[in-house]
Structure 1
Amino acid sequence: MSERLVRLACTAAVAAQAVLAPVPALAVPDAQPPVAELLTDLQQLYRQAEQATETYNAAEERLNRQRAEVIRLDGELAGARRSLHSSKDEAGRLARQQYQSSTGISPYVRLLLARDPQHALDEGHVIGELARERAKTVGRLADGEKKQADLARKARKALDTRLLLAEGQKKQRDEVRDRLLDVERMLASLTPDQLTALAALERTETADAQRKLTVSGALSATTPPPSQEGDRAVRYAVRQLGKPYEWGAAGPKAYDCSGLTSQAWDHAGTPIPRTSQEQWAHLPHVPLNELRPGDLVVYFPEATHVALYLGNGRVVQAPRPGAKVKVSPIAANPILGAVRPDPKARPLAHYTPPTVPEGATEGPDEGFGASQPTVPTPT
């Protein structure tokens, strides 16, 4: 075959592939953008995914609280109905007693005609007590009916709210799914060499940020000891090293960033809010130069990522989809600030840090070179 025919055949094959091959959702242009630009785009996608995840987690927390409120109101309503039924039975019993004791003669005439006036007086007292008891029972009956109606109305409203929250949670779940699909499509569009270059560039950027933070004096040269609760939180987090990141997960097999920190402090005996944004909003802030193990380091202006401080400029974190729980430099992400779940707890007099397993600092903080992020399946 001549050289001209070979060129024509290759051209035809390429054209056929262009027609028959499915077009990817995020097509990669012939002229690839610089690695730094790719890194910025991918970091932005991860940030959007994590922000959507934290919003989903907040929706899940609200839904859980509403479920508990519905259960509580249903229990109160059931109790009110039992009490109302009991009051009705009591009112009926008293009505029968009064009917059986009634003679149609006034108490004054009965007293005049009685052979034993004292007995008549005692009998009248008993009848009066029965009447007063009946009046109280009727009052309780009316109150019970009102309480049951109020509780029934609140229970219906609580159930309606729960349904609305469940619908909102579904939308947030779909938002996370869309953002993770964007990440997956971009990762799939990159070559192995590009992924390697991205990981290397981000490691370089992290090392530079860590060096600048250390040189600035923002971190203390020595790490003060944690409280007893902080020590327990750190040891729990260290035991989770190597477990995969999974959006919306709070253990024990997988975690997202705030799932790890909230569970660590829950196991330490100091429950804290579930999401990074709530942790930043509701826990006392501490300066970076006063950090002690167990404190939480919060990242990005929207407080969408969080890690647990290990000491000596390192954190334990669930970095992002595709990565695992690991030890990272504190400057692995742009720092917003830090919070302390136990501000009033005294530091330990003597502290021995937990042993960090070999390889805990290895592996990507960024998740580029690991398996692609798991995209949640709609349910």
Structure 2
Amino acid sequence: MSGRLVRWVCAAAVAGVLAAPGPAGALPEPDPGPGGEQSVAGLLTRLQELYGEAEEATETYNATEEKLKERRAEARALTERLAAARGSLYGSRIAAGRLARQQYQGRSDISPYVRLLLARDPLHALDQGHVVLRAARERKATVDRLTGAERRADVLATRARAALDAQLRLAEERKKERDAVRSRLGDVEELLASLTPEQLADMSRLEETGATASQRAFMASGALGSAARAPSRAGDAALSYAVRQIGKPYVWGAEGPDSFDCSGLTSQAWAHAGRKIPRTSQEQWAKLPRVPLSRLRPGDLVVYFRRATHVALYLGGGKVVQAPRPGARVKVSPIAANPVLGAVRPDPEDKPMSGYRPPPLPRGAMSGGDAGYDSPEGAS
């Protein structure tokens, strides 16, 4: 985005939730104002939809990117194994060729067999028999090695071709998904460029009002329980990493070290704590163990929207660390700035640490917009 549009995006934090917090929270449908112009709430809803589509497309792109990384690694490993198999096959063919030449020239170990038939000394004949048996075994081993090497090379070549085909298909999918993200962000830029400074300021105030109301209602509901909890040591490490990223820009598809998207931040935070978790918010929600909101502890992942298209790390005290959206920066936000879907815990077997102290926050950690963006279609 241009610098001007980035400033507009930051000024227009566009996902306030005016209804009750939780998965069902949403803004009203767009309402045309006098002269057919949309109301501020309608414009805010449209921006929510556009950002929701962009974030969902981003998570789809991220999932394909992870699959592509796996296929690349698989293709590299198969290529290395195929090269080794072909080297073994080459050696086996040389040995088989040497055996064939020896037999053709009458210099193989078949000649002792003839001597065995003509031997008069039984002991000498027995020695010759061992020689013939050993030679026969060696010839059989040579042929078996050749046959086995050919079979392994054929199988690996087939698998390598399949891995390469899959890699090419995923690369094409990734290109289409990248174009989809860019198209949706282009729609956001186009809408923002059409708004006046007054409309942007009105939307910012509307979002702030909605987010404040949602947070107040969420905290009053007692959904988080009353007890303060300590993280595990891994959770503390993940949270401390996330806090150190505060102020870095959101960039779709990014997973550090200079910029992040929402799930890029959470996956990298836990990777630095020594735990590999899925890359995307939807996979984190689908594959990690669920934990009740009433038992949240710092370092847990809070997942948002009905399609699980946004994720943040729980900081404690009703706040999260997150990468909100394009144009924003990693920051501390109220937990209910977006509709909460639920929470997951990457380290359910680890016990809370003793003597926990929350990581110190940098100045301005809560500055800027708080919202991520839902998909307008709702739950899948």
1:283/1:339 contact within 8 Å kept: yes
Structure 2 distance, partners of 1:183, 1:162, is 32
Structure 2 match to 1:353: 358
Letter of the aligned partner of 2:127 in structure 1?
D
By how many angstroms is 1:297 displaced?
Answer: 0.4
Over the aligned positions, Cα root-mean-square deviation in angstroms equals: 2.0
1:241 paired to 2:249: no
| Distance across 2 between alignment mates of 1:30 and 1:164 | 49
Task: Look up the match of 2:207.
Answer: 202
DSSP 3-state at the match of 2:119: helix
Query: Match of 1:103, as an amino acid?
Result: S
* Cα distance change of structure 1 residues 236 and 47 upon mapping to structure 2, 3 Å threshold: same
d(CA) in 2 for partners of 1:172 and 1:190?
Answer: 28
- Pick the aligned partner of 1:106 from 89, 111, 114: 114
Match of 2:377 in 1: none
Distance 2:355 2:78 in 1: 48
Alignment of 1:313 onto 2:318: yes
| Identity fraction in percent | 60
Alignment partner of 2:321: what SS? Answer: strand
Residue matched to 1:19 = none
Structure 1 residue 253, shift from structure 2 partner: 0.4
Q: Is the 8 A contact 1:323 1:367 kept in 2?
A: no
1:298-346 per-residue CA deviation (whole Å, 9 max, x = no partner) reads: 0011100000000000000000011000000001111110000000001
Query: How many equivalent residue pairs?
Result: 338
Partner of residue 94 from structure 2, selected from 67, 89, 95: 89
SS in 2 for 1:286: coil
- State the Cα deviation string for residues 250-302 of structure 1 (Å, max 9, x = none): 00000000000000000000010000000000000001110000000000111
Q: CA deviation at 1:44?
A: 1.1
Question: Counterpart in 2 of 1:125?
Answer: 130
Can you give the 5+ residue segments of structure 1 that lack an aligned partner in the other structure?
1-27, 369-379
1:367 Cα deviation after fit? 9.1
The letter of the residue matching 2:76 is I
Instruction: Tell me if 1:161 matches 2:169.
Output: no
CA distance in 1, matches of 2:331, 2:35: 36
* 1:133 to 1:103, Cα distance in 2 relative to 1, 3 A: closer
CA distance in 2, matches of 1:109, 1:82: 40
Structure 2 residues without counterparts, runs of 5 or longer: 1-32, 374-380
Residue matched to 2:27: none
Alignment of 1:17-32 (within 5 A): 31-32=36-37
Larger RCO, structure (CA 8 Å, separation 6 or more): 2
Amino acid at match of 1:242: G
Aligned to 1:223: 228
Give SS of 1:242's match. Answer: coil
TM-score, normalising length: structure 1: 0.85
Shift of the 138–311 alpha-carbon distance from structure 1 to 2, 3 Å rule, reads same
Find the aligned partners of 2:372 and 2:154 in 1 and give their Cα distance: 55
- Going from structure 1 to structure 2, the CA distance change for 1:119 and 1:96 (only over 3 Å counts) comes to farther
Structure 2 residue aligned with 1:57: 62
One-letter amino acid of the structure 2 residue matched with residue 74 of structure 1: T
For 1:342 and 1:364, the matched residues in 2 are separated by 30
* Residue equivalent to 2:180: 175
3-state SS of paired residue (2:149): helix
Alignment-derived partner of residue 270 in structure 1:
275
The separation in 1 between residues aligned to 2:285 and 2:347, in whole angstroms, is 14
Contact 1:242/1:326 (8 A) holds in 2: yes
- The structure number with the bigger radius of gyration is 1
Distance in 2 (alpha carbons) for counterparts of 1:225 and 1:335? 21
Deviations 1:178-215 (A, max 9, x none): 11001111111111111111111111111111111111
- Mapped to 2, the partners of 1:32 and 1:309 lie a distance apart of 40
Distance in 1, Cα, partners of 2:119 & 2:73? 60
CA contact (8 A) 2:112 2:131 kept: no
Tell me if the contact between 2:322 and 2:330 (Cα under 8 Å) persists in the aligned partners: yes
